[in-house]
Amino acid sequence: MRSHYSGEITPGLDGKSVTISGWVHEIRDMGKLKFVILRDRGGFIQITAKKGVTPDEVLSAIDDLSKESVIRVEGSVIRNDKAPKGVEIKPEKLEVISKAASPLPLDVTQKVDADLDTRLNNRFMDIRKPDISSIFRLRGEILSAGRKFLKENNFIEIHTPKIIASASEGGTELFPISYFDREAFLAQSPQLYKQMMMATGLDRVYEITTYFRAEEHDTRRHLNEATAIDMEMAFIKDDGDVMDVLENLVLALIKKASSCENELDILKKKINVPERIERIEYDDVLKLLREHGKKLPWGEDLDTESEKLLGKIMLKEFGSELYFIVHFPLAIKPFYTMPFKGEKYSRSFDLGYKGVEIASGGQRIHDLELLSKRIKHFNLNPDNFEFYLKAFRYGMPPHGGFGLGIDRVMMQILDLSIREVVLFPRDRHRLTP
Ligand code: AMO
């Protein structure tokens, strides 16, 4: 339906016949002159109609146009220094393909601001705005860069079930569903399945996956349906091997984002690409927080306030936007986490980015006896995990992995709230659209 996107129409095409299709962004009627700004994926182009020059049926079609209708225009390119980008289209044919009703639920030209709820309720139209669509273009670029990185590092893309029979990340955050005559749940993560893959010889797997979490949080960093890059790798020495992969992956994602100049220009954002990622012990994090007036008792996980404060400290004192917190107390990590220094610590880590946890992971227990003991320690019933434990009975290599929240990466790269970087967020209050 088109020969060119608007962005491809340059003064160099002067005199050439083109066909363009898109939405009516603006209409300006100056009497003898009528301007229509057409918007498509490539940007904007001005269509200039003149009484006495433009065919009458095109002039009357413009009189009947409504903003945001979909049109197709055939015409010729005219170089004109007064037009935006020095070029406009002289229309010969204008066809209204889909007429937009009015009034519009949102102002795509952004002369009138809308609150986030109104925007999300009309997301299809919100994303017509070039800055909002840039967020999702950037997100797509980051995901492609992630896939490329993982493939180059010998990871195999897999898909694990999203309808599951037992919890992997604790029992309170599950969405129960009815599965014929049995109880089932939406998967909180691929954890148990990606670990079972380590007993198959595939060695390195990843999944770009949805996490379903029935958390009651109502924050700018939590959703009930989140997206993550989840990976697992076998034959590791310890958690350090896993962090090396995560470090390089995250730096590759941020580097990719920083190369999306067009999108960043539209969004008026600049991205700093760190060279490396600091690694600090959990105990040292508590010390740093204490020095800055926040007393977090040993054994507790960082709350939102501590995470934010740590982000500020890391930036101010170490110049680091990204940092690993390593060796958390074993008691606050899931049952599959490898103990470290007896049973006090664990071979686990979280990755912080400007005060928000964007990933967590570690080395897992690969010894069946220890794993069964840890399951019982959490008051979980080993019988419910038999399908998983079986994979540890016939040869399981040492392994580890991580889950990297894509929504969190995006919100921190662009300094936005999590709802702004997800197409159709699911939270406590939102189930449609
Ligand atoms: P965890 O529960 O820490 O670990 O999740 C990993 C990462 O996923 C993102 N995330 C979320 N993002 C938005 N809203 C949520 N409700 C939400 N929950 C999680 C975060 C978080 O760091 N199985 C382990 C990972 C592993 O060890 O491999 C897990 O799920 O960025």
What does the pLDDT profile of the chain (433 residues) look like in tens digits? 999 999 999 999 999 999 999 999 999 999 999 999 999 998 999 999 999 999 999 999 999 999 999 999 999 999 999 999 999 999 999 999 999 999 999 999 999 999 999 999 999 999 999 999 999 999 999 999 999 999 999 999 999 999 998 776 765 689 999 999 998 999 999 999 999 999 999 999 999 999 999 988 888 899 999 999 999 999 999 999 999 999 999 999 999 999 999 999 999 999 999 999 999 999 999 999 999 999 999 999 999 999 999 999 999 999 999 999 999 999 999 999 999 999 999 999 999 999 999 999 999 999 999 999 999 999 988 998 999 999 999 999 999 999 999 999 999 999 999 999 999 999 999 999 9
**Catalytic-role residue among 2, 79, 222, 426:** 222
C-alpha to C-alpha distance for 84 and 161, rounded to whole angstroms: 51
Nearest residue (by CA) to ligand 1, atom 6, is 403
C-alpha to C-alpha distance for 413 and 431, rounded to whole angstroms: 26
Distance 360 CA to ligand 1 centre (A): 6
Reading phi first (left if > 0) and then psi (alpha if -120 to 50, else beta), residue 43 is in left
Residue 172 has what pLDDT?
A: 65
β-bridge partners, 11: none
C-alpha to C-alpha distance for 228 and 231, rounded to whole angstroms: 9
Query: Helices 406-414 and 239-258 meet at what angle, rounded to 10?
Result: 50
| Six-digit token string for 218 | 């109502």
Distance 342 CA to ligand 1 centre (A): 26
147 is catalytic: no
DSSP-based three-state secondary structure for 12: helix
* 173, burial (CB in 10 Å: exposed 0-12, middle 13-18, buried 19+): middle
C-alpha to C-alpha distance for 169 and 333, rounded to whole angstroms: 9
Distance 334 CA to ligand 1 centre (A): 12
Show the ligand 1 pocket: residues with CB < 6 angstroms. Answer: 169, 189, 191, 211, 213, 215, 222-223, 226, 228, 230, 357-361, 401-403, 405, 407-408
**What single DSSP character describes residue 354?**
T
399 is catalytic: no
360 is catalytic: yes
CB of 32 closer than 8 Å to CB of 53? no
C-alpha to C-alpha distance for 295 and 309, rounded to whole angstroms: 12
Cα distances (angstroms) measured from residue 85 to each of 6, 7, 111? 11, 10, 21
C-alpha to C-alpha distance for 108 and 111, rounded to whole angstroms: 8
pTM: 0.96
Q: Who contacts 115 (Cβ-Cβ below 8 Å, separation ≥6)?
A: none
Mutate to test the pocket of ligand 1, among 169, 408, 410, 412 (most ligand atoms within 8 A of CB): 408
* Backbone phi and psi for residue 420, each to the nearest 5 degrees, phi listed first: -75, -20
The H or E element containing residue 226 is strand 225-234
**Catalytic-role residue among 204, 221, 347, 364:** 221
72 is catalytic: no
DSSP string spanning 160-224? --SEESS-SS-GGG--EEEETTEEEEE-S-SHHHHHHGGGTT--EEEEEEEEE------SSS--S
Task: Report all structural domains of the chain as residue ranges with CATH numbers, in order of start.
Answer: 6-98 (2.40.50.140), 125-421 (3.30.930.10)
Around 143, how many Cα atoms within 13 Å sit in the side-chain half-sphere? 18
* Atom of ligand 1 at shortest range from CA of 194: 28
Residue 167 has what pLDDT?
A: 73
C-alpha to C-alpha distance for 77 and 91, rounded to whole angstroms: 9
DSSP-based three-state secondary structure for 334: coil
222 is catalytic: yes
From the CB of residue 295, how many other CB atoms can be counted at a distance below 10 Å?
Answer: 8
Residue 31 has what pLDDT?
A: 92
Residue type, 129: K
DSSP-based three-state secondary structure for 136: helix
